[in-house]
Amino acid sequence: MSSKPSPVFFGSVINGTQARFASFAGKLNKIIEKLDFSTIDKKDKVAIKMHLGFHDGYQTVPVFFVRRIVKAVKDAGGYPFVTDNPTAVYNAVDRGYTAETCGCPIIPVAGVKDGYTKKVEINFGNVKTLELAGVMHDADVLVDLTHAKGHNTCGFGGAFKNIALGGYHGPSRWNKIHGVEHSIPYFDKDKITPEYAKKLVETCPEDCIKYDEEKDEFKILFGMCNQCWKCMEADKDVGALDIKQENFAMFQELLAIASKEVLKTFDEKKQFFINFAIDITGACDCWGLAQPPVIHDIGIIAGRDIVAVDHATLDLIAKAGLVESLIPPYYRNLNLDPEADLHPFQRLHGPMKNPYLVTEYGEKLGLGTRNYELVEVLSPEETKDMEAPQTVSEASPSFF
């Protein structure tokens, strides 16, 4: 770890007094001030990379805040646009995101047919190349605007995940990045006869062991594996399976590598990372359904160092802990043992989905430091004795 801590600005959802300046929205203003958009040059094209949700998955960064960030970018002289994958862009209106509500255009990240891309060399595991989204490549400035939440494949969906999966076209995302876990062998082909493969399929309560008889193809979908080890138990006398931590970790290492390729296309002074840790669900926004927020609302975590911002976000989530009454029953391998040294997202998704790995890999790649200094803005302690207006609601019609 680097000895010089990176500043990470934090605005809690808790306000110390009933005044707009001290509220969560007021804290976003202060954080934007601290982030200092003055490094955005006049007429810079500013990509505000978001996840705009999918179907009924509306628990993303509220348009109220997007609009405010868009305005701040415009005030700095930039030309902002919101961007995400084409499906999310086309139906963003269903979740309240339009050019009118956001205050700027919404552009598909790799073009209208998801084919406007630039090939980048990756050479990691079974992934030789990826197709980087052309619109991200063209932009001058990146605002990585992220809804912090859990993620079934790697535990955590934060700033890294937003640009690593969201910064590439669909086939790169779904076929390559989501297939990297198969780079390390995890079964002995000689021991997996068709009959035995079918037996192993039956052992998995999560339906993540797949066998294609026609192709004689056996695989485990690691994204849904919660490490219950029922398959390993059933296999103990045969020893055909050998699922390792490395299989799970490869996905996170690739997230860091893919993020590096995206970040390379932006000047260091033109990268901003803003995580909204509110409405923190167990799974990703792409699930397309409403989910219970399993962690209480925390606040905004922002800075210019992606490693520090994601690391601080994970620490704050760890401190908050799970709201047990809101955990849905489909987390079947839930570990609530207080003695177990696990992050809340590991308690949901299994111990091998350590959400901190991505920041560790990111740091090794030189993308930032896990050594951060949390700078809280307008803390409740700071604002509780400040003078607040007598009334905050409309006392009489103010429209005219």
Residue in 67, 2, 64, 70 with CA at minimum distance from that of residue 37: 70
Contact between 220 and ligand SF4 by CB under 6 A: the answer reads yes
* Binder of ligand SF4 out of 12, 226, 354, 383 (CB under 6 A): 226
* Binder of ligand SF4 out of 13, 25, 208, 375 (CB under 6 A): 208
33, 323 Cβ separation under 8 angstroms: no
Ramachandran quadrant class, 170 (left: phi over 0; alpha: psi -120 to 50; beta: rest): alpha
Which of 51, 349 has the CB closer to ligand SF4? 349
- Selected range binding ligand SF4 among 72-80, 200-208, 297-305, 378-386, rule: CB under 6 A: 200-208
101, 69 Cβ separation under 8 angstroms: no
- Residues near ligand SF4 (CB under 6 A), total: 13
To the nearest whole angstrom, how small is the minimum distance from the Cβ of residue 331 to ligand SF4? 12
Site for ligand SF4 in 66-105 (CB under 6 A): none
Q: How many CA atoms lie within 13 A of 278 on its CB side?
A: 19
The structure tokens listed for 144 are 């990585």
Contact between 225 and ligand SF4 by CB under 6 A: the answer reads yes
Q: How far apart are CA 7 and CA 106, in angstroms?
A: 30
Distance of CA 326 to the CA centre of its chain: 21
Which of 34, 199 has the CB closer to ligand SF4? 199
To the nearest whole angstrom, how small is the minimum distance from the Cβ of residue 221 to ligand SF4? 8
To the nearest whole angstrom, how small is the minimum distance from the Cβ of residue 283 to ligand SF4? 15
* Binder of ligand SF4 out of 153, 227, 369, 383 (CB under 6 A): 227
- Selected range binding ligand SF4 among 142-150, 164-172, 203-211, 368-376, rule: CB under 6 A: 203-211
Which of 13, 334 has the CB closer to ligand SF4? 334
* Binder of ligand SF4 out of 40, 209, 322, 358 (CB under 6 A): 209
Distance of CA 103 to the CA centre of its chain: 24
DSSP 176: I
Residue in 13, 20, 11, 14 with CA at minimum distance from that of residue 388: 20
The 10 Å CB-count burial string (b at 16+, else e) for 98-118 is eeeebbbebbbbbeeebebbb
Contact between 229 and ligand SF4 by CB under 6 A: the answer reads yes
Contact between 348 and ligand SF4 by CB under 6 A: the answer reads no
Contacts to ligand SF4 by CB under 6 A: 203-204, 206, 208-209, 220, 225-231
